[in-house]
Amino acid sequence: MNVIEVNRPDRATRHRLGKSDPIDAESAARAVLAGTATGTPKHGEDRVEMIRVLKLVRDSAVKSQTQATNQVKAVLVTAPSELREALADLPRIALLERCAELRPGALATPLATAKHALRLLARRALTLRAEAKALRTELTALTAATSPALVELAGIGADSAAALLISAGDNPQRLRSEAAFAALCGTNPIPASSGKTNRYRLNRGGDRQANAALHRAIVTRMRWHEPTKAYVERRTAEGKTKPEIMRCLKRYLARQVYRCLLPAVADQTTTPEPKNLGKQLDKHRSINPLSEAQFKTLKYLPDFPAAFASLAAARQFCAGFFYEYNYVHHHSGIAWHTPASVHFGTADAIDEARQTTLTAAYHDHPKRFGHRPLPPQMPTQFWINQPAPTETQIN
């Protein structure tokens, strides 16, 4: 049986139709039949499910430990002066150990009651700390066994690796591309353009636990990872803000993580035989500018190493990048097509489909448009460095 994952209806639909099991079932069926819902559900039948359960318990232990420690400090604020002064200026662990050894005696005075409360809270915090430490050891072993390459990435520890593995699930092959994984983690750029302003903003959706794991890794890399530090300096000099730089870094790290989760994607070096190659070369005679743009993008990758360990390592690194660059990413310089769609001659059919959609939208809502909309036009010339116009061209 083929199972499709369906999201809940949007807020306007829920308010208009209401909420009940039959309404939800009909909405799910309509989403599947219309092709809106096409995702494969995440499985939880192997190691990742084990990691999820252990991480759930460890997060709860860490949160409870923090609460108990904060309560210890809160009790000390109003404790009798002789007890407060005896425990002043102690580090956190030393404070908990001292409080756990207190002997309150009979609960007949405020001092004895404060000692009793501190001892209970301290012992609770130390027990939870030992529990969280043991669970971290188990998580470290499980994440290393599940994805050894992932835990070797700079800035990725056991907790972050666990969050990313849980987000992908036991069947990461359900993710169609690294761009889909980036959207799942909330690191894909969202267009926020208007008029003559072209910009992108952070994605506030996606799996926020996975997004937080990527964020922690980037903060660590910006402090200790030399290639990342050099990248930040270069982009800062170009006028980028820190949030913009971090957005780019998180997007590149999501690509790295995807390669670790699905290493087979990096080996997809074969491409189909091009059709009508001579006609395509006649249409776009200059290939050098496209290659120049491609290699400039590759050079600016924050994880591009200073040197590769072997020829096989270089091929594996470049295979994943070129696959995403040529087959997944839509480029503004070629009318928002992928290089593969232009190269294999499918761009014209895509433009026709775009025009059909725009025409239908214009027909349904003409007042929303200032003029009849057209899809972006494919440029007819490409340049590495555009020459200055001649006097004849100026006139």
**239-261 pLDDT, tens digit each:** 888 988 998 899 999 999 998 88
For the record, the structure tokens of 38 come out as: 């096409």
Highest average pLDDT, of 20-24, 95-99, 200-204, comes from 95-99
Cα-based angle 303, 48, 125 (whole degrees, multiple of 5): 95
User: In the chain, what are the domain boundaries?
Assistant: 1-41, 47-146, 149-265, 268-386
In angstroms, the CA 235 to CA 247 distance is: 12
State the pLDDT at residue 123: 95
Nearest to 289 by CA among 330, 341, 348, 334: 334
State the pLDDT at residue 273: 40
Query: Distance of alpha carbon 162 from its chain centroid, rounded?
Result: 14
Residue with more model confidence, 210 or 40:
210
The pLDDT of residue 357 is above 60: yes
For the record, the structure tokens of 33 come out as: 């039949």
pTM: 0.62
Judge whether 209 and 184 are in contact, CB under 8 Å: no
Alpha helices by DSSP H, listed for the chain, are 11-17, 21-33, 47-78, 81-86, 92-100, 110-146, 148-151, 158-168, 178-184, 208-224, 226-237, 242-261, 277-283, 288-299, 311-327, 339-343, 347-364, 391-394
Q: Average of pLDDT values for 71-97?
A: 92
In angstroms, the CA 5 to CA 342 distance is: 32
Percent with pLDDT over 70 in the chain: 88
Helix H or strand E segment including 200: strand 200-201
State the pLDDT at residue 387: 64
State the pLDDT at residue 15: 82
